[in-house]
Structure 1
Amino acid sequence: MKKNILSLTVLVLLATSCGAGQTEDTSSEETVTVQSTSNETEGDWTILFDGSNLDSWKTYNKESLGAAWKMENGVLYLDSSEKEGRGDLVTKDEYSNFHLKLEWKISDNGNSGIMFMVHEDEQFRHPYVTGPEYQLLDDEGHPDGKNLKHRTGDLYDMIQATEEASNPVGEWNTTEIIVDDAKLTFKLNGVTTVETTMWDDNWKALIAGSKFKNAEHFGIYKKGKIALQDHGNNVYFKNIMIKEL
């Protein structure tokens, strides 16, 4: 669903971060302004989530959206207290060269991620079998934070972020993932944390040195879906947009 817009104002309630199994505390109000460009040089943003609907998303390997993913006050979030309707969320469309931008926050001791170039097929049980991951984590509270390739802004288990730039748990962060003719760039709150080239010999070496070394379909696809991970902890997203390059 494409929307060519100059500005979009969304009223949302700013949530303080919740632990797994809790719903969002909507205790204070903020105004979020999303701005995009629409011209021949920069192209058009496609709004994947603006708080109004979830038409661009579904549960991985399913036709519908699981009940554990909820929309409230302009925020998309995983309610980990739900026992049914769980699973990773994926876009209905696939992307090759793109600029993805979104805002997120994690719960106390929480773990999640954003995967890309995800290949959806019944032979794969989870998006991480094919799609590389931009890690989202409570770096200080979650045990994975002790692994220097598992912290926020890392290319999960492959490249450590050049700089740590995440905000404290409970505060919103802005993430950008850019794939442009095999060049991969991660940004966190305006700071570039990862730059590498996909699908070359170095990329293959990074995979061979990671936990995905035996996953023959990992990191090979040049077009795929965007995935938001259900890792069992509450995680919150808003203002999700993508621009095809």
Structure 2
Amino acid sequence: MKNSKNWLTVAFAVVFLAACGSGQKNEDGQDSTAATDPAAGNDGWVSLFDGQTTNGWHTYLRDTVSAAWTASNGELRFNPDVPREQRGDIVTDGEYENYELELEWQISSGGNSGIIFSVHEVPEFGATYQTGIEMQVLDNIDAGDNKIENHLAGTLYDLIGSTEVSQPKPVGEWNQARIRKNNGQITLWLNDVQTADVTIGTPEWEQVLNASKFKDWEGFAKYPKGKIALQDHGDVVAYRNIRIKEL
């Protein structure tokens, strides 16, 4: 009976190991179960741009993406030479409230653009910036809007920013932008340097808001949940590696 018991033990071990390794392998040799799970191995991050198409985006107050924005070589690029009626800011199809957003941007010489968030897309507001808050994208050296500190690259546009923290890379190089918005607190980073930190509704927020051009704007920063926009400011700009993690 001793041999029979040993045989049963071996047989059980073989079945157990086979069950543990039964996951299908894909062409890369990875477990296909993990590969088909959208949350597996990404720590909650979701891509907002697939690098090849404009899927997931549309031009503000339109159904599709206008011809000025094209996707190729992993970049979402804006061409200002397209007729004006085929231009405009693009926004995400989805809305977000509490999240971290990461992306890279590359601006042309003298260029200006922006990452605008908490955008409330309704016909009553004809532009993304009427409701959305902007992280500035700028060539600090040659852009026309480089004379005001809180208009520089990486700043919370017309609200918070300084020359000390605005440290964009030279034109033609990629900059890393990060936006964290959580329960009204907005924190920005450009190339790993924090450029702004403020919480909507606090005395500090009211102070910077009242000192800005947005002081009397009816819809500005009034909507906690909204879309994310990439701005058509009339200059060549490109974005890539756009991803979000909801908090």
TM-score interval, smaller chain: 0.7 to 0.9
Q: Which residue of 2 aligns with 1:125?
A: 126
Task: Give structure 1 stretches of 5+ with no counterpart.
Answer: 1-35
User: Take 2:72 and 2:52, find their aligned partners in 1: how far apart are those partners?
Assistant: 9
Contact 2:155–2:166 (CA<8 Å) still a contact in 1? no
Residue of 221, 226, 236 corresponding to 1:219: 221
Contact 2:54–2:70 (CA<8 Å) still a contact in 1? no
Flag the structure with higher strand content.
1
Q: Which residue of 2 aligns with 1:79?
A: 79
Q: Which residue of 2 aligns with 1:150?
A: 151
TM-superposed deviation, 1:166: 0.8
Q: Which residue of 2 aligns with 1:113?
A: 114
Contact 1:108–1:138 (CA<8 Å) still a contact in 2? yes
Q: 1:211 to 1:92 in 2, by over 3 A?
A: same
TM-superposed deviation, 1:37: 7.8
TM-superposed deviation, 1:43: 4.4
User: Radius of gyration: which is bigger?
Assistant: 2
User: Take 1:134 and 1:38, find their aligned partners in 2: how far apart are those partners?
Assistant: 30
User: Take 1:37 and 1:50, find their aligned partners in 2: how far apart are those partners?
Assistant: 16
User: Take 1:202 and 1:167, find their aligned partners in 2: how far apart are those partners?
Assistant: 30
Contact 1:199–1:219 (CA<8 Å) still a contact in 2? no
User: Take 1:205 and 1:212, find their aligned partners in 2: how far apart are those partners?
Assistant: 12
User: Take 1:87 and 1:129, find their aligned partners in 2: how far apart are those partners?
Assistant: 14
Match of 2:229, SS state, is: strand
Q: Which residue of 2 aligns with 1:134?
A: 135
1:192-231 equivalences in 2 (<5 Å): 192-231=194-233
- What per-residue deviation string (whole Å, max 9, x for no partner) do you get for residues 170-191 of structure 1? 1001100001222211011111
Match of 1:90, SS state, is: strand
Contact 2:53–2:72 (CA<8 Å) still a contact in 1? no
Q: Which residue of 1 aligns with 2:169?
A: 167
Q: Which residue of 1 aligns with 2:52?
A: 52
Contact 2:154–2:188 (CA<8 Å) still a contact in 1? yes
Match of 2:44, SS state, is: strand
Superposition RMSD in Å = 1.7
Contact 2:107–2:237 (CA<8 Å) still a contact in 1? yes
Which deviates the most, 162-171 or 119-128?
162-171
Which deviates the most, 191-200 or 226-235?
191-200
- AA in 2 matched with 1:214: D
Amino-acid identity (%): 44
Contact 1:60–1:127 (CA<8 Å) still a contact in 2? yes
- What per-residue deviation string (whole Å, max 9, x for no partner) do you get for residues 178-233 of structure 1? 01222211011111111111233332332221111121110111110000000000
What TM-score, normalized by structure 2, do the two folds share? 0.80
TM-superposed deviation, 1:52: 2.4
Contact 2:52–2:72 (CA<8 Å) still a contact in 1? no
1:68 aligns with 2:73: no
1:187 aligns with 2:189: yes
Q: 1:103 to 1:67 in 2, by over 3 A?
A: same
Q: Which residue of 1 aligns with 2:94?
A: 93
- AA in 2 matched with 1:225: K
User: Take 2:146 and 2:213, find their aligned partners in 1: how far apart are those partners?
Assistant: 16
What TM-score, normalized by structure 1, do the two folds share? 0.81
Match of 1:206, SS state, is: helix
- AA in 1 matched with 2:246: E
Flag the structure with higher helix content.
2
Q: Which residue of 1 aligns with 2:25?
A: none
TM-superposed deviation, 1:236: 0.3
Contact 2:111–2:237 (CA<8 Å) still a contact in 1? yes
Match of 2:145, SS state, is: helix
- AA in 2 matched with 1:87: G
- AA in 2 matched with 1:115: I
Task: Give structure 2 stretches of 5+ with no counterpart.
Answer: 1-37
